[in-house]
Amino acid sequence: MVTKPPVSDVDDSGMTVGAPKRFAAGVPAILSTLKHAGREMGVKRSAQTLLKVNQKDGFDCPGCAWPEGDHRSPIGEYCENGAKAVAEEATLRQVTPEFFAAHSAASLAERTDFWLGQQGRLTHPVYLAEGATHYTPISWDDAFGVVAEELAALDSPDQAAFYTSGRTSNEAAFVYQLFVRAFGTNNLPDCSNMCHESSGSALSETIGIGKGSVSLQDLHEADLIMVVGQNPGTNHPRMLSALEKAKRAGAHIVAVNPLPEAGLMRFKNPQRPNGIAGSGTPLADEFAQIRVNGDLALFRALNRMLLEAEDAAPGTVVDRAFVDEHTSGYEEFAADVRATDWADVLEATGLPRIQIERIHERVLKSRRVVVCWAMGLTQHRNSVPTIREVVNFLLLRGNIGRPGAGVCPVRGHSNVQGDRTMGIYEKPSATFLDALEAEFGFAPPREHGHDVVDAIRAMRDGRVKVFFAVGGNFVAATPDTPATEAALRNTALTVQVSTKLNRSHAVTGRRALILPTLGRTDADVQASGPQFVTVEDSMSAVHASTGRLHPASPELRSEVAIVCGLAERVLGDRVAVPWRDFTGDYDLIRDRIERVIPGFADFNARVRVPGGFVLPHGPRDERRFPTATGKANFTVNALEVLRVPDGRLILQTVRSHDQYNTTIYGLDDRYRGIKAGRRVVFVHPADLAALGVADGEVVDLVSEWKDGVERRAPEFRVVAYPTAKGCCAAYFPETNVLVPLDSTAEVSNTPTSKSVVVRLEQRA
């Protein structure tokens, strides 16, 4: 079956385009918070939930993974977009069996994710039988029976794939990977494969651990913070408070981005008097409006200049003591980087040389440097080399493993980092598997499994026949939408453990199940009483999260209960794991985590201390680098300029201010001046003039890749916008159709969602 992709089922005829904003937050953010919260939850539930977000006795915000700090505001430690995430989950609307009786699966496939998300919380397990047109209610027992039957019918456990999105708690993630490995496969693709995988790959190789090395305190103490390829005003709004604090303590900020994002420019902190009435705090001291994909060139240029400054005044620029004692590969790196060609740098970055020199001057004056980054660095073909070059930059001046300095990959989903720590990884280390084997007495599979892109290929080719997802919206989040949809439709069974309806429920295998689950905000009561779960933030702090709301329906089960119930049904007594005890008391799961995963000693006691605890991190704590060489590694990273044919632009796919990945909260992108619409493409006025396209015109976006296939996203309104020249931007997931499945990053295999070559095709 082929369904028509939903162009739009929302009325965007009233779309308006205004000027981009020059500051983030302030009063408009407060008003937007109240509007979303009130609409979804009503006044009482809003007050009940918003007061508990990120408090030490409350629940972890289901929004981003930015850490909470010790001094929490008693009236609200959340942001506008955190409030939208909470409202989205705690909504009073419901998707009941009657809803499924009224809407066929095929009709749902013609809806946008915006419409689907607006229908409310899922209340019952439902089943789409083979050949059926509608989902119908099914008991939990029968649902587990369907999964067990399909898994038993496989020739090999490797014919199943088990996806995870990053909201899953540590406890659920741990039992999930345990079940999957006991079943017999490492096919554990997760959203991280599309997100910070490039950071994990580059950091593991160079510093020996795939996680950031800074704390909030480090940001507050830094002299220079570089925010590269990240839009914190929208995606990590609480980070603006940390930047503001650093600024007030004298730090300088350099923002590197093709777009002049409002949150990088000025912050009106709604929790400070001057944020409400005054003009707020200016953030970026330097805004480098880089061409998409120019970052490797920028950091190579900065590194070259640092080496030249060292030549001019030996012993004053490079931290020789650190380099000699703690690093490897310096000479080879230095020889290569000295040969960096300025012409290439200027072409790749599109920046004036004088600005790069100014940034260099700031670096020279700064003893403590932090580099923060997100998707603007991770979703390109050369993302891993780019991030390695960032590491080179920090290593040169010893900016790792001391206060006020380090690497800060800012994570996305609230527990995506914790899920990895718990073993949600298709390439587990031998050490991890040995520990699992010692604890649970079965031999886990050793062969590496499929990541996201490989899982799609395997479904397409009939090598994976059962697709199971704990959370997320696989169909909409992945690249090459028609190819991915065909792959999923080629399976025997798709199962989605979800809180809300989304497109992945409408694009199914021969049979399908939707299993409704409790979210972060919901009270979770099991045999031993009320439970809490734990999560790990972007800075390796682990803490408890306790939901308190009355669940949408008594049929909802926790993710732990679903995974353990299914494991018991599928595995019977093939392994000696007390699944039922685990469900009854999550402390018992934490006891096992403590025995398998380093850093969790005394887990149950330490996580009950308000605020939790921080996991060990060799480079951060003691300048110990657990790499292959036992040292931090300098690397050599080739500079290739991304050139596009005449008349083409590099498209980057971004988030609007009113969405959480594939969950669309609303149709405004306040900071970029867009109201009541999403099908827009932001292009520089000079490019429009050269292309002969007018602002306001409607065009198709057509991507061109070396496989010769033309991928098309129809009907986007052109918005003249001050982006970097030669580049354009449009929202994800509407533009995922344009990203070729096989266009992925070297090493990390992450889809290249930030560098897609497109042309704008005028509609007849």
Ligand X SMILES: Nc1nc2c(c(=O)[nH]1)N[C@H]1C(S)=C(S)[C@@H](COP(=O)(O)OP(=O)(O)OC[C@H]3O[C@@H](n4cnc5c(=O)[nH]c(N)nc54)[C@H](O)[C@@H]3O)O[C@H]1N2
Strand runs (DSSP E) across 621-707, as ranges? 632-633, 649-654, 659-660, 663-664, 674-675, 680-683, 698-704
Gyration radius from the chain CA atoms: 25
Cβ 502 to ligand X, closest distance in Å? Answer: 4
Residue 502 in the binding site for ligand X (CB under 6 A) = yes
- Among 52, 121, 167, 220, the residue binding ligand X under the rule CB under 6 A is 167
- Among 189, 398, 412, 565, the residue binding ligand X under the rule CB under 6 A is 412
Interface region with ligand X, contact rule CB under 6 A, candidates 292-300, 418-426, 431-439, 592-600: 292-300
- Residue 214 or 292: the one with the smaller Cβ distance to ligand X is 292
Place of tokens 């990590």: 236
Residue 484 in the binding site for ligand X (CB under 6 A) = no
**Cα–Cα distance for residue pair 117/418, rounded to 1 Å:** 26
Residue 414 in the binding site for ligand X (CB under 6 A) = no
Contact 743, 751 (CB under 8 A): yes
Structure tokens that stand for 330 in this block? 């310096």
Residue 208 in the binding site for Mo ion (CB under 5 A) = no
Q: What are phi and psi of 581, to 5 degrees?
A: -65, -40
Say which DSSP state 177 is in: H
Interface region with ligand X, contact rule CB under 6 A, candidates 331-339, 472-480, 589-597, 687-695: 472-480
Sign of CA pseudo-dihedral 592, 593, 595, 601: negative
- Total residues in contact with Mo ion, by rule CB under 5 A: 2
- Among 6, 63, 67, 423, the residue binding ligand X under the rule CB under 6 A is 63
Interface region with ligand X, contact rule CB under 6 A, candidates 149-157, 517-525, 529-537, 577-585: 517-525
Contact 221, 249 (CB under 8 A): yes
- Residue 287 or 322: the one with the smaller Cβ distance to ligand X is 287
Give the contact letters, 212-241, x = binds to ligand X (CB under 6 A), - = no.
Answer: ----------------xxxx--xxx-----
- Residue 67 or 376: the one with the smaller Cβ distance to ligand X is 376
Give the DSSP letter string of 213-227.
Answer: ---HHHHHH-SEEEE
Kindly report whether the peptide bond that precedes residue 733 is cis, defined as omega within 30 degrees of 0. yes
Structure tokens that stand for 230 in this block? 């990240």
Q: Which of residues 559-598 bind ligand X (CB under 6 A)?
A: 559
Give the contact letters, 79-108, x = binds to ligand X (CB under 6 A), - = no.
Answer: --x---------------------------
Contact 210, 200 (CB under 8 A): yes
Residue 292 in the binding site for ligand X (CB under 6 A) = yes
Q: Which of residues 392-431 bind Mo ion (CB under 5 A)?
A: 412
Count other Cβ atoms within 10 Å, centred on residue 689. 11
Interface region with ligand X, contact rule CB under 6 A, candidates 142-150, 433-441, 459-467, 498-506: 498-506
Q: What are phi and psi of 307, to 5 degrees?
A: -65, -40
Using left for φ > 0, alpha for ψ between -120 and 50, and beta otherwise, residue 472 falls in: left
Residue 261 in the binding site for ligand X (CB under 6 A) = yes
Contact 534, 544 (CB under 8 A): yes
Amino acid, res. 74 = P
Interface region with Mo ion, contact rule CB under 5 A, candidates 40-48, 195-203, 260-268, 486-494: 195-203
In sequence order, the β-bridge partners of residue 654 are 731
Cβ 224 to ligand X, closest distance in Å? Answer: 16
Cβ 424 to ligand X, closest distance in Å? Answer: 12
Residue 468 in the binding site for ligand X (CB under 6 A) = no
Cβ 257 to ligand X, closest distance in Å? Answer: 5
Quick one: how many helices (H) and strands (E) in the chain? 31, 33
Contact 594, 600 (CB under 8 A): yes
Strand runs (DSSP E) across 529-675, as ranges? 529-530, 533-536, 541-545, 613-614, 632-633, 649-654, 659-660, 663-664, 674-675
Residue 195 in the binding site for Mo ion (CB under 5 A) = yes
Give the contact letters, 335-374, x = binds to ligand X (CB under 6 A), - = no.
Answer: ---------------------------------------x
- Residue 113 or 524: the one with the smaller Cβ distance to Mo ion is 113
Cβ 94 to ligand X, closest distance in Å? Answer: 14
Q: Which of 90, 84, 56, 88 is nearest to 72 (CA)?
A: 56
**Cα–Cα distance for residue pair 187/179, rounded to 1 Å:** 12
Interface region with ligand X, contact rule CB under 6 A, candidates 134-142, 497-505, 545-553, 628-636: 497-505
Q: What are phi and psi of 508, to 5 degrees?
A: -125, 170
Give the contact letters, 177-196, x = binds to ligand X (CB under 6 A), - = no.
Answer: --------------x--xx-
Cβ 84 to ligand X, closest distance in Å? Answer: 7
Residue 208 in the binding site for ligand X (CB under 6 A) = no
**Cα–Cα distance for residue pair 639/325, rounded to 1 Å:** 28
Residue 293 in the binding site for ligand X (CB under 6 A) = yes
Q: Which of residues 244-303 bind Mo ion (CB under 5 A)?
A: none
**Cα–Cα distance for residue pair 159/153, rounded to 1 Å:** 10
Contact 634, 332 (CB under 8 A): yes
Residue 653 in the binding site for ligand X (CB under 6 A) = yes
Q: SS3 for 724?
A: coil
Cβ 379 to ligand X, closest distance in Å? Answer: 6
- Among 177, 383, 736, 744, the residue binding ligand X under the rule CB under 6 A is 736
Residue 476 in the binding site for Mo ion (CB under 5 A) = no
Q: SS3 for 423?
A: coil
Residue 175 in the binding site for Mo ion (CB under 5 A) = no
Contact residues for ligand X (CB under 6 A)?
63-64, 81, 165-167, 191, 194-195, 228-231, 234-236, 256-259, 261, 290, 292-293, 295, 374-376, 412-413, 470-474, 477, 497-500, 502, 517, 519-520, 559, 652-655, 659-663, 732, 735-736, 739, 753-754
Contact residues for Mo ion (CB under 5 A)?
195, 412
